[in-house]
A and B are shown apart, each in its own frame.
Chain A
Amino acid sequence: MAGLPRRIIKETQRLLAEPVVGILAVPDEANARYFHVVVGGPSQSPYEGGQFRLELFLPEEYPMSAPKVRFMTKIYHPNIDKLGRICLDILKDKWSPALQIRTVLLSIQALLSAPNPDDPLDNNVAEHWKSNEKSAIEQARQWTQLYAKSNTVNSH
């Protein structure tokens, strides 16, 4: 295996030295390409007060291809499915090597503030969102309380 590219070392150092408010990203002790991430639920969203765990992996081709990111904490969101996979354009065809771990995680946090049921990954959740937004948001809030509270051990 090739050594760790300088870009990954630099990004990691910057992430640890100047962390983004509400986002924690720590490299795994055994694998510098694997990050343990915690994203705080944005205020004025049904995820407020929740601490959402994610895993982020930088593939061999990074930054020529996007990081692989997945929610580990259960979340009720039309663009995130049961397995925690995320429907976000910059993780797919809109990826650019000018993006970074930091910007990816900020985009994911923004996705929590602005669910988009018209481009769903989980059809049931999206249908719920479109047919009765109030009830869907209430459900998202309940799941946040149930699964994303930092003092509870949450797992898929």
Chain B
Amino acid sequence: MGNCFKSTSNDDISLLRGSDHHDSSLEPMPFVEPPPPYRAQPEPQQRMPIYHPSPGVSRPANQLSEEEQIKIAQRLGLINHLPTGKYDGTNKKAKECVICMNEFMFGEQLRYLPCMHTYHKECIDDWLMRSFTCPSCMEPVDAALLTTYQTS
């Protein structure tokens, strides 16, 4: 079963590629690992990812309307434009992720919002799929994204 919503590239790699980055989704995925050994089909109902087409609404991917699917795909695209990085302890301001309330650990994947607030990638991505705002300052992320594009 195809899943259109799965991100095709690792964020770090796409950032490193910089300006010569091209749309890898149009090309076949390079083989990173050999395919997993054959296993019986897992129950599709349990494996179906849950999406939140609007705040407070949770639905499995196979029950979304076309409109909702487009909205979610666009949101995923926007989220993937936001820079990520690994925590290296140099940012003295951000020490704790306010979403999970755990301290950042060396090597953990972080995501930086345009307002300069930082979270665990996993924590903030979950939130941004529901509401495209910064949890700390409530700044709409898309407006800030546009400003960054216009000034750079």
Contact = CB atoms under 8 A, between A and B. Distances in A.
Interface string A61-100: 1011100000000000000000000000000011011100
Nearest to B117: A98
Nearest to A100: B101
Interface stretch (A3-11, A17-25, A40-48, A144-152): A3-11
B135 A7 contact: no
Interface in B30-66: 55-56, 58
Interface size class of B (residues with CB under 8 A): 10 to 19
Contact of B133 (A5, A11, A63, A96): A96
Q: Tell me whether chain A's interface is mostly helix, strand or loop, or mixed.
A: loop
Interface in B9-23: none
Interface in B117-152: 123, 126-127, 130-131, 133, 135-136, 138
B136 A98 contact: yes
Give the interface centre of B56, B101, B123, B136 by most chain A CB atoms within 10 Å. B101
Contacts, number: 32
Contacts of A61: 58
A98 B102 CA distance: 13
Interface residues of A, number: 14
A127 B100 CA distance: 42
Nearest to A7: B101
Given A64-B126, A65-B56, A98 B101 contact: no
Interface string B97-124: 0111110000000000000000000010
Interface string A28-45: 000000000000000000
Nearest to B137: A98
Contacts of A93: 55
A42 B15 CA distance: 52
A10 B101 contact: yes
Give the interface centre of A6, A65, A96 by most chain B CB atoms within 10 Å. A96
Nearest to B133: A96
Give the interface centre of A5, A10, A61, A98 by most chain B CB atoms within 10 Å. A98
Contacts of B99: 7, 63, 97-98
B127 A64 contact: yes
Contact of B135 (A6, A11, A65, A97): A97
Nearest to B129: A64
B108 to A, nearest CB: 14
A108 B101 CA distance: 23
Pairs of residues from A and B, 10 with the lowest C-beta to C-beta distance, nearest first: A98-B135, A96-B135, A7-B101, A98-B98, A97-B99, A97-B135, A98-B136, A10-B101, A7-B100, A97-B127
B101 A6 contact: yes
